[in-house]
């Protein structure tokens, strides 16, 4: 996480659970958009980083593992994100030779009640 400037700006950390990587974004006054709500861009950034982290986790760290380049990200904002710690996790829904598809969700408190979801298409760059 510390090698990604935007992750450092958001104060992100991570933990591993049975399903993969969970990204944690602690609340900070710098993340507020509308009064008493997190800015949508911070939630979108959290979802994008969670997607890439899970994809890298699935690909492994071998020298032959491909690099990843986001092609597009679609974010669905499901409800307002309150000023509190926010979590995100992703699953790789398709792993092709050149393209991977990832779905991520962000939540606060109750994982079953996400505040936002994202779909991300990623190019796998093989040298």
With tokens 């700006």, the residue in question is 9
pTM, two decimals, is: 0.91
**Would you identify the CATH topology of the domain 5-125?**
Thiol Ester Dehydrase; Chain A (3.10.129)
Contacts of 127 (CB under 8 A, 6+ apart): 66, 67
Q: What is the pLDDT of residues 85-117, one digit of tens each?
A: 999 999 999 999 999 999 999 999 999 999 999
Residues in the chain with pLDDT values less than 50: none
Q: What pLDDT, on a 0 to 100 scale, did the predictor assign at position 107? A: 98
The rounded distance, in Å, linking the Cα atoms of 57 and 77 is: 25
Percent composition of the chain: helix, strand, coil (DSSP 3-state, to 5): 25, 45, 35
Q: For residues 88 and 106, is the Cβ–Cβ distance under 8 A?
A: yes
The rounded distance, in Å, linking the Cα atoms of 104 and 119 is: 7
Q: What pLDDT, on a 0 to 100 scale, did the predictor assign at position 1? A: 65
Q: What pLDDT, on a 0 to 100 scale, did the predictor assign at position 65? A: 67
Q: Where are the domains of the chain?
A: 5-125
């Amino acid at each position: 996480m510390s090698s990604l400037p935007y992750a450092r700006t958001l104060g992100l950390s991570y933990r591993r659970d049975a399903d993969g990587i969970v990204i944690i974004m602690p609340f900070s006054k710098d993340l507020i958009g509308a009064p008493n709500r997190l800015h949508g861009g911070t939630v979108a950034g959290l979802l994008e980083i969670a997607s890439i982290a899970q994809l890298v986790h699935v690909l492994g760290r071998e020298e032959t593992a491909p690099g990843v380049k986001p092609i597009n990200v679609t974010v669905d904002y499901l409800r307002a994100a309150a000023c509190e710690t926010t979590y995100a996790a992703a699953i790789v829904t398709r792993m092709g030779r050149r393209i991977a598809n990832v779905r991520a969700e962000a939540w606060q408190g109750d994982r079953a009640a996400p505040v936002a979801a994202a779909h991300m298409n990623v190019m796998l760059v093989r040298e």
